[in-house]
Chains A and B, each alone.
Chain A
Amino acid sequence: DTGVSQDPRHKITKRGQNVTFRCDPISEHNRLYWYRQTLGQGPEFLTYFQNEAQLEKSRLLSDRFSAERPKGSFSTLEIQRTEQGDSAMYLCASRPWDTQYFGPGTRLTVL
C-alpha cells in the first residue's frame, strides 16, 4: 500500500477564486471521507463516499463546496468563490472496514 495521497499539499489563492483538491485513497478502499481542520482544532467531518455515491454531507459543506468520486477511486473537492474563512487543512481518509487512514492533507490559504 502506498497510503492515501493528496494533491496539492499547499495552495495559496486569492479570495473569490475557485480551487480543487484531489485525493487518491488506498486501492480497494471503498469508503472515502473529507475533513476540514482549522488551527488549534480537531478535524471536522465534511462528506463521505461509498464507492461513487456521496452518502452524507455535513452542514459545514455549504453550497460553495462540491465533492465528487466519479469512478469510485479518486475524489475531488472543489471550493468555489473562496473566502478567508475557508483557510484550513483539508484532509482525506479512506477506510476498508473499521479504521480510517488519512492522507497528508492540503493546506489552503485564502488571501
Chain B
Amino acid sequence: AQSVTQLDSQVPVFEEAPVELRCNYSSSVSVYLFWYVQYPNQGLQLLLKYLSGSTLVKGINGFEAEFNKSQTSFHLRKPSVHISDTAEYFCAVSDTNTGTASKLTFGTGTRLQVTL
C-alpha cells in the first residue's frame, strides 16, 4: 500500500515570488509520482510526472519537481508564480506494475493562494 503526505494545507505567496509545495510518500514497491492541479469545480489536470530517468522533471505552466528517493519526496516548485496559479495541488503515487490497477493514491492537497 502507498500513502502520500502533503504537510501544507495552504500556501500563501505573493505574485512573482517563488514557491515550493511539499510532498512525501511511503511505499513498499516502486512508484510513479504525479502532480495534478485542480481549479474550482473542475477535474484534475496533469502538471507533471516522474516515471524514471532524470530526477528533475519539468511540467506545464513553468512548474518542475524533483524526485528524491532517499527522502521519499517529490516537491513541486515554480520560480515565479502568477495569480492564475491559484488552485489546489495534489501529489499522487501509483505502483509501477502495469499488470495491476495502478490506482492513484492522493495526498490531501495544498491550496496555493497567490496575491498581488
Residues on A close to B: CB < 8 A?
4, 6, 33, 35, 40-45, 48, 55-56, 91, 93, 95, 97-105, 107
Number of chain B residues close to chain A: CB under 8 A = 25
B11 in the interface (beta carbon within 8 A): no
Residues on B close to A: CB < 8 A?
4, 32, 34, 36, 41-46, 49, 51, 90, 92, 94, 98, 101-109
Chain B residues contacting A100 (CB-CB under 8 Å) are: 94, 104
Q: A104-B43, A105-B42 are known contacts. Are A98 and B98 too (CB-CB below 8 A)? A: yes
Pairwise interchain contact A45-B98, C-beta atoms closer than 8 A: no
Chain B residues contacting A103 (CB-CB under 8 Å) are: 43
Closest A residue to B91 using CB positions: A42
Chain A residues contacting B102 (CB-CB under 8 Å) are: 95, 98
Q: State which of B51, B98, B107 has its C-beta within 8 Å of the C-beta of A42.
A: B107
Q: A40-B108, A99-B49 are known contacts. Are A104 and B42 too (CB-CB below 8 A)? A: yes
Chain A residues contacting B42 (CB-CB under 8 Å) are: 104-105
**Could you name 27 residue pairs across A and B whose Cβ atoms are closer than 8 Å?**
A6-B43, A33-B101, A42-B90, A42-B92, A42-B106, A42-B108, A42-B109, A43-B44, A43-B90, A43-B106, A45-B101, A45-B104, A45-B105, A91-B43, A91-B44, A95-B102, A98-B32, A98-B49, A98-B51, A98-B98, A99-B49, A100-B94, A100-B104, A102-B44, A104-B43, A105-B41, A105-B42
